[in-house]
């Protein structure tokens, strides 16, 4: 899953360490999310959305290829 966290951080001049501290996670987790190596839980995704005051779907971009049609 792609996301715009790096861009949003840059726009607000927030470091990964500061964002991690605000969300109660490690800096490595922020790095992993930004690089698309780790998909955050729903509660963390909502926490990130609340932190940036942007709807969650504007931050996380769901890849159509990931949708499994039953």
Partner 1 sequence: MRRNTFYLLIGVVGILLVGVLWTSIALSMPTLIQGAFLISVLLVYAARRAVPETIMDERTNVITQHAAVATLGVFWIVFFLVSISSVVWEFSRPLGILPPRTPGELPVEVPHFGNLGLLQLGLLGLMIVLYGGFRVYYARKFGDWEADEE
Among 41, 63, 64, 68, binds partner 1 (CB under 8 A): 41
Within 50-69, the residues that bind partner 1 by CB under 8 A are none
Tokens 């998909």 appear where?
39
Distance from C-alpha of 18 to C-alpha of 55, rounded to nearest angstrom: 21
48-63 b/e (C-beta count within 10 Å ≥ 16 → b): bbebbeeeeeebbeee
40 binds partner 1 (CB under 8 A): yes
Determine, following the binding rule CB under 8 A, whether residue 21 of this chain makes contact with partner 1.
yes
38 binds partner 1 (CB under 8 A): yes
What is the token pair recorded at 34?
Answer: 């930004």
For the chain, what is the largest distance between any 2 Cα atoms, rounded to a whole number of angstroms?
42
Per CB under 8 A, the segment of 4-12, 18-26, 53-61, 62-70 that binds partner 1 is: 18-26
Task: Note the residues at the interface with partner 1 (CB under 8 A).
Answer: 20-21, 24-26, 28-29, 32, 38, 40-41, 44
């Amino acid at each position: 899953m792609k996301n715009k966290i790096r861009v949003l951080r840059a726009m607000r001049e927030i470091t990964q360490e500061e964002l991690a501290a605000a969300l109660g996670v490690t800096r490595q987790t922020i790095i992993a999310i930004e690089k698309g190596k780790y998909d955050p839980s729903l509660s963390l995704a909502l926490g990130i959305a609340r932190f940036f005051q942007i709807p969650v779907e504007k931050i996380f971009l769901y890849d159509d290829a990931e949708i499994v049609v039953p």
